[in-house]
Amino acid sequence: MATQPSNATLNKTVLIVEDELHIIESLRFILQRAGYLVHEVHDGNDAVNSVRAHIPDVIVLDLMLPNKNGFEILKELKSDLALSNTPVLMLTAKGQQQDRANAEQLKVDAFITKPFSNQEVLSCIDHLSKR
Check residues 131 and 17 and name the one with the higher pLDDT: 17
The whole-number pLDDT of residue 2 equals 45
Looking at the domain assignment, is residue 2 inside a domain? no
- Number of domains composing the chain: 1
Looking at the domain assignment, is residue 5 inside a domain? no
**Does position 3 have pLDDT exceeding 70, yes or no?**
no
Looking at the domain assignment, is residue 1 inside a domain? no
CATH number at residue 104: 3.40.50.2300
**Does position 53 have pLDDT exceeding 60, yes or no?**
yes
Q: How far apart are CA 13 and CA 7, in angstroms?
A: 13
Q: How far apart are CA 17 and CA 37, in angstroms?
A: 14
Looking at the domain assignment, is residue 8 inside a domain? no
Check residues 96 and 47 and name the one with the higher pLDDT: 47
Q: Mind listing the pLDDT tens digit for each residue in 6-18?
A: 666 678 999 999 9
Cβ–Cβ < 8 Å for 58, 85: no
**Does position 4 have pLDDT exceeding 60, yes or no?**
no
